[in-house]
Amino acid sequence: MPAHDVLIIGAGLAGQRAALAAAEAGATVAILSKVHPVRSHSNAAAGGINAALNPDDSWESHAFDTVKGSDYLGDQDAIEIMCREAPDEVLQLEHWGVTFHRNPAGLLGTRAFGGASAARTYYVADITGQALLHVLYEQLMRFHEKIDRYEEWFVTSLLQDDEGNCTGAIARNIRDGSLQTFDAKATILASGGAGQCFKPTTNALICTGDGIAQAYRMGAPLMDMEMIQYHPTTLAGNGILITEGARGEGAHLYNAQGERFMEKYAPNKMELASRDVVSRSEQTEINEGRGFPDGTVALDITKVPRKRTLEALREIVNIGRDFAGVDITREPIHIKPGCHYIMGGVKTDVHGATSIPGLYAAGEVACVSVHGGNRLGANSLLDTLIFGRRAGEHAAQIARSMAMPAADRSRVEDEQRSMDAIIARDKSGRRVSEIKDELGEMMNDKVAVFRDEAGLQEAHEMIKRLKEEAQVAYIDDHGTVFNQDVLGAIELGYMLDCAECIVMGAIERKESRGAQFRTDFPERNDDEWLKHIDLTANGGDTPKVSYSPVTITKWQPMERTY
């Protein structure tokens, strides 16, 4: 039976960074992921990583931009830590071998990004996330003697002892279907977001909220779950992302009448206002009939010199060509707001610790909260690395003074029985894929850029029905080797838990802040709602709601204009 000081679930940037930090601190480490680490969704973060590394810049400026971007819902103590530690983290990555863009002097060069008052985004063409992920994986291979990798293992549940401590996880080896207990003194969830609750979404098919739901089921509170970021530039049919880097490089947005409409909504920052603002502006144009017939507006990258586009935005040149049939260096491309990121997640402190002893969370699965109501572009890579590292260090440290737990082996048998039961379901119910599609389309309809009470209540009713249907939903694959079907059924359960919390948070927050815009409560209301909404599992019932204060250090809430 594998037993490690620190078990990390998920091998994107947060997980890999946590593994490297924990190993460096002397812990024995296992990192486990349902896909090969380099397939992780961190790949998708194209534009860059923010850090106030330039002598003219300051971490305070970065922190203020982040606080303002969060619509004052971000916890300022956590934001300060993130922004203060950002420069060293970027240098660490550079020393590990990330091929960051240089300026002519050979020093790190930057690009502009949304919501930022200085150009502080460090980047590798428009494959920054990919480059970071692959370089961290190089380091994982390098330290293979200290870090055990379990690639293509799927966590079915977390383990908890009688005192309520998290003691590891049970996982299925996707390759042969066997179940295994992983004992661990500390477990770090780094399994990413839940974008697949929406359809379409920019998120990969693997982003099914596994870790959020696993922690929730164990009793850990979720926070800010209503805060779903709609990215301003996604392709209409399939939700594929066009990086904010395009606007950072100078691309403009136009409605069908050829108006550069951001002049109306954000006269100063224009296209580089924060994402919630730009997405709402676009959706307003579309809703009021000034969009194109396919429900889109136009992103014009021809403003950027062609040579620069080919060098710095190569990936979206390919995406435009391959997924929309458009040469973005010569003509505008039609885009719309699309589900992109969940600011909320498992509530943690600044060390990544959740309220469950022995359980940590870092990256998109977690909510520290540094993003509050709206995440700034190029802050997510930073979040994964800073809090991944902090979680890894802290977990390694507490592991030093602990004995290795040993989970009750009968748990594996229970788990095996419940998996067998899914595989054995008769075909009287619905197909898993059908329920997933219905959920995604509904969420994208009722829990999107603009929300209201009636729509959210309908959404909640629907989720309750889908949850019942999911209990008896059937699958086709009865095998053990790469049975992706049975994993899909388990993921559907995770997604439905996440979706319910997203909707509950949105119903609860009766104001408009950051990504949450309630047409029935269109104003921000600091008197009543400058607080986090925490949701805790309540048996099989609707989650229990409580509140926690927003930590404010230096920056009092102000009106937010761009």
Shorter beta-carbon distance to other proteins: residue 97 or 295: 97
Applying CB under 8 A, among 260, 330, 400, 554 the residue interacting with other proteins is: 330
* Contact set for other proteins, span 523-552 (CB under 8 A): none
Closest CA to 519 of 455, 459, 457: 455
CA distance 138 to 407: 33
Q: Which stretch binds other proteins (CB under 8 A): 119-127, 263-271, 371-379, 457-465?
A: 119-127
The torsion defined by the Cα of 467, 199, 16 and 534, in degrees rounded to 10, comes to -50
Please, what is the minimum distance in Å from the beta carbon of residue 196 to other proteins? Answer: 11
Please, what is the minimum distance in Å from the beta carbon of residue 102 to other proteins? Answer: 4
E-strand stretches of 52-130: 110-111, 121-122
* 149 flagged as catalytic: no
Q: Considering the rule CB under 8 A, would residue 427 count as an interface residue with other proteins? A: no
Q: Considering the rule CB under 8 A, would residue 243 count as an interface residue with other proteins? A: no
Q: Considering the rule CB under 8 A, would residue 86 count as an interface residue with other proteins? A: no
Applying CB under 8 A, among 29, 125, 215, 490 the residue interacting with other proteins is: 125
Please, what is the minimum distance in Å from the beta carbon of residue 305 to other proteins? Answer: 6
Q: Considering the rule CB under 8 A, would residue 284 count as an interface residue with other proteins? A: no
Which DSSP letter does residue 104 get? T
Q: Considering the rule CB under 8 A, would residue 124 count as an interface residue with other proteins? A: yes
Please, what is the minimum distance in Å from the beta carbon of residue 420 to other proteins? Answer: 15
Applying CB under 8 A, among 163, 268, 288, 307 the residue interacting with other proteins is: 307
Q: Are 360 and 22 in contact (CB under 8 A)?
A: no
Q: Are 350 and 341 in contact (CB under 8 A)?
A: no
Task: List the catalytic residue out of 111, 275, 280, 375.
Answer: 275
Q: Considering the rule CB under 8 A, would residue 24 count as an interface residue with other proteins? A: no
Q: Considering the rule CB under 8 A, would residue 41 count as an interface residue with other proteins? A: yes
* Contact set for other proteins, span 166-225 (CB under 8 A): 175, 204-206
For 162, list phi and psi in degrees, rounded to 5.
Answer: -65, -25
Q: Considering the rule CB under 8 A, would residue 441 count as an interface residue with other proteins? A: no
CA distance 232 to 336: 6
Q: Which stretch binds other proteins (CB under 8 A): 153-161, 316-324, 386-394, 493-501?
A: 316-324
Q: Considering the rule CB under 8 A, would residue 43 count as an interface residue with other proteins? A: yes
Looking only at the bridges linking them, the beta strands covering 166-173 and 153-160 are: antiparallel
Neighbours of 143 (CB within 10 A): 13
Token output for 241: 């992302």
- Site for other proteins (CB under 8 A): how many residues? 88
β-strand partners of 183: 3, 168
Please, what is the minimum distance in Å from the beta carbon of residue 4 to other proteins? Answer: 21
Instruction: Render the burial of 153-190: b for 16+ CB within 10 Å, e for the rest.
Output: bbbbbbbbeeeebbbbbbbbebeebebebbbbbbbbbb
Instruction: Render the burial of 93-107: b for 16+ CB within 10 Å, e for the rest.
Output: beeeebebbeeeeee
Shorter beta-carbon distance to other proteins: residue 108 or 159: 108
Binding mask 467-496 toward other proteins (x if CB under 8 A, else -) reads --------xxxxxxxxxxx--x--------
Shorter beta-carbon distance to other proteins: residue 130 or 274: 130
Applying CB under 8 A, among 24, 60, 77, 151 the residue interacting with other proteins is: 151
Please, what is the minimum distance in Å from the beta carbon of residue 87 to other proteins? Answer: 9
How much of the chain is helix, strand and coil, in % rounded to 5? Answer: 40, 20, 40
Q: What does R_g of the chain's alpha carbons equal in angstroms? A: 22
Applying CB under 8 A, among 325, 539, 540, 549 the residue interacting with other proteins is: 325
Q: Considering the rule CB under 8 A, would residue 318 count as an interface residue with other proteins? A: yes
Token output for 461: 């009713």
Which residues form the catalytic set?
Answer: 275
